[in-house]
Amino acid sequence: MSIAAQNIDQDRLETAIAAAVRSLPPLPPLVRYHDDFADKLHAIRDLSEASFITVEFDGKRQRINFDGYGSASPIIKLVLADWFARLDLHTVVVSANQLETYVRDRGLASLMMLVALPIFEARSHWNVFAKPNATPGQAGALRRTLHSLCSLSIGHWNPASAPLVRALRSPKVDLYRAVRSGECFLPLDHQAAIVDHIDEVCALLSKSSEAVDSVQLRDACILVIAYQYAFRPGQIARIEVADVRVFSTGAVHVAVIAAKQRDKKQRNRVTRRIKREWAPLFVELCRRREHRDLGANPETPERLLFRLTPGEISEILTELCEDLTDESWTPTDLRHTAAQRLADAGVAHIALTEFMVHASYRTANIYFDTSPTQAQRVNQAMAISPIYANVAKIARTRIIDKETLLRLPADKQIGGVPHGIPIAGIGGCEVGQSLCSKNPVLSCYTCRRFMPLRDTNIHERVLEDLRPVVLDFAASSRSNEQSPAFVQLRTTLDGVRRVVEGLKAEDPDQ
């Protein structure tokens, strides 16, 4: 459906726009905005004469054009000035881009009708044309435009019209479709690969500070913050050197800004404690930060800890996850996975909301809706839940036969007595048990150095022997799935199950 199909009188539309422009309040001579990434106050001069403006934020520059708005350009400029005064800078830039794309895709006449026609005609145009043809982002930008028209009393709009704008229906979109489907959640083996990588960097660092180069150290710290506390790239990029507090006890606290709040005045900082085993990474990072370059972007401010833009942080996380898991998991996937991990562990609703730094308590409901029941959690921990019965990707592990295992040195043949259950002959270790700081058997199935034996029966016996231990822990801890022992058992049994499924997929006769 086109605008022409609605038999709109173009002359009437232009007349209405001209009348609205004549009654406009004067544009401010100077429009200021604060770029919190660079911590600079920028000024836009001569907005009334400009055909475009350039906005600096998040370490980049974004151009906003006015040529496509024709005679409605003065109105859009006044709306933009109102956005700079009320909204978050990121929201201003995104909304301006969405408004520009709507005009390019659907025509300027549609925007002019919403701006200049009487309110009930504008509402009719919204229902008939704008809503069915706008993307969710474009609809949001149009709504913000109408709200500004109301507050500025432009055309037929006035503050009393604001409830009508709020009542306008928007295109239906499921913001949490990926969460409901579960496609954004990292499987346990991928989470184990990430934890294993961080542990390996910590182990190298404990032997010698020179064993880890600065870029590897920086990337590991970024991964810790994203994986452990689900912070966004923009939040990680804004961490300052002064936000990292190192205590004499070895504890490390990091303060991170609360992003995407409804009111930009609510962007306070929240403090998080880094896991004690991973704290040395940040201690070493702060030490090196004072003496050498960490692969920083020279155009970023000196006060920032990582000296990278949000875009660069996002690229580092995506590439690092792909290297570790062979899949391109995004920072958003890490964020959703961290939230679901807490929901599955049974944390309180308010605790999850505070962990995610959400503006609304309702947002956390989606994770509890997709979280399994208590019985499902126990079954999942015992690796018998059909929901998690995916065939493992164990191509990066080297499966060995019994003869090869027997030829390995004794130190590289895995054996142990976890929870009083003797287990041996499950495979080999590329490093050797004497050089491993982890628990034998319990950590081997999720370790990249593990070489499982090509014998399904051996691994199935391990699975059956360890399953009763899960029930004992679930009973004694009164369903506390947050205990480290329970989580470790769950991860181990899932790793055993994946090895069994991988071997069966490779050889169905086993």
What residues have CB less than 8 Å from 191, skipping those under 6 apart? Answer: 227, 337, 341, 491
Distances (CA, A) of 128 to 136, 144, 155, 491, 499: 16, 19, 21, 53, 56
The predicted pLDDT at position 267 comes to 62
Which residue numbers in the chain have pLDDT < 70? 1-8, 259-267, 291-295, 371-398, 437, 439-440, 473-487, 507-510
What residues have CB less than 8 Å from 509, skipping those under 6 apart? Answer: none
Q: Residue 424 and residue 498: Cα distance in Å, rounded?
A: 19
Q: Which residue is listed with tokens 């990926």?
A: 178
Contact 50, 85 (CB under 8 A): no
Q: Which residue segments constitute the domains of the chain, with CATH numbers given? A: 4-167 (no CATH), 180-371 (1.10.443.10), 402-506 (no CATH)
Q: What is the pLDDT of residues 23-63, one digit of tens each?
A: 898 898 899 999 989 989 999 998 988 999 999 989 899 99
Can you name the residues that pair with 273 across neighbouring β-strands? 253
The CB-based long-range contact list for 410-414 (8 Å cut-off, 24+ gap) reads 414/440, 414/441, 414/444, 414/450
Q: Which residue is listed with tokens 């016996």?
A: 461
Estimate the crossing angle of helix 188-207 against helix 310-325, to 10 degrees: 100
The predicted pLDDT at position 314 comes to 96
Angle at the Cα of 489 from the Cα atoms of 484 and 493, rounded to 5 degrees: 150
Contact 282, 246 (CB under 8 A): yes
Where do the DSSP E strands lie in 236-299?
244-246, 252-257, 269-273
The predicted pLDDT at position 386 comes to 41
Q: Which residue is listed with tokens 């499966």?
A: 399
> pTM higher than 0.75, yes or no?
no
What is the DSSP code string of 408-419?
Answer: S-GGGEEEE-GG
The predicted pLDDT at position 121 comes to 92
**Backbone φ and ψ of 402, nearest 5°:** -65, -40
Contact 152, 25 (CB under 8 A): yes
What residues have CB less than 8 Å from 267, skipping those under 6 apart? Answer: 36, 88, 257, 258, 259, 261
Q: What is the pLDDT of residues 271-320, one digit of tens each?
A: 999 999 999 999 999 988 876 666 677 888 889 999 999 999 999 999 99
Contact 222, 211 (CB under 8 A): no
Contact 284, 209 (CB under 8 A): yes
What is the DSSP code string of 32-67?
Answer: EEEETTTTEEEEEE-GGG-SEEEEEETTEEEEEE-G
